[in-house]
């Protein structure tokens, strides 16, 4: 199936999509991603024993801030009214999974907001635990962010 490119004009110049004629709908997007860490770092997070402070609380704030500012970092994203952001952390033995759910009512979706929340939240975790994750050469051989993806997208007409 071929679809016209909506982010370019007839001359090929990048432009924001005009959503003015679209009806308002209730929308929800959920994104998820993982950060792989050393088991000892995970244990320190569980015990709130990271020198920079509470890792998950700080990552939650970072994720929510990123959601609210997505339109400032993704060039063609619309500024949308965010009605809710939920963050959920799952600590495994050597990884933390972060899921961010975003809800809005408007003319365009919120997948990018959910993705920005996940990537920023995971980056905040990395920043908070850098000292614990570095090896003797100052490298991060076991630290990695991956599997960032949209896992749910819903849209419902408003009656």
As given in the structure block, the two tokens for residue 147 are 């599997």
Q: Which helix (H) or strand (E) holds 117?
A: helix 111-133
Strand partners, 96: 35, 91
Q: How far is CA 102 from CA 40, 111, 119, in A?
A: 32, 8, 14
In the set 24, 49, 127, 146, the catalytic residue is: 127
pLDDT per residue as tens digits for the range 90-130? 999 999 999 999 999 988 889 999 999 999 999 999 999 99
- Supply 124's token pair: 């905040």
| Domains defined along the chain, listed by start | 25-157 (3.30.70.640)
Give the pLDDT mean for 45-62.
97
**Cβ-proximal residues to 83 (8 Å cutoff; 6+ apart), any chain:** 103, 104, 105
pLDDT at 119: 98
In the annotation, is 94 catalytic?
Answer: no
């Amino acid at each position: 199936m071929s679809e016209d490119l909506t982010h370019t004009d007839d001359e090929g110049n990048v432009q924001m999509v005009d959503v003015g004629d679209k009806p308002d709908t209730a929308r929800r997007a959920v994104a998820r991603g993982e950060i792989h860490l050393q088991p000892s770092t995970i244990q320190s997070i569980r015990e709130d024993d990271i020198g920079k402070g509470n890792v998950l609380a700080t990552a939650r704030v970072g994720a929510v801030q990123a959601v609210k500012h997505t339109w400032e970092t993704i060039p063609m994203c619309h500024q949308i009214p965010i009605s809710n952001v939920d963050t959920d952390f799952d600590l495994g033995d050597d990884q933390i999974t972060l899921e961010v759910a975003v809800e809005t009512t408007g003319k365009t979706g919120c997948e990018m907001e959910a993705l920005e929340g996940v990537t920023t939240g995971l980056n905040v975790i990395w920043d908070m635990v850098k000292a614990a994750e570095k090896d003797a050469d100052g490298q991060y051989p076991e630290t990695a962010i991956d599997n960032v993806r949209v896992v749910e997208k819903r849209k419902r007409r408003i009656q």
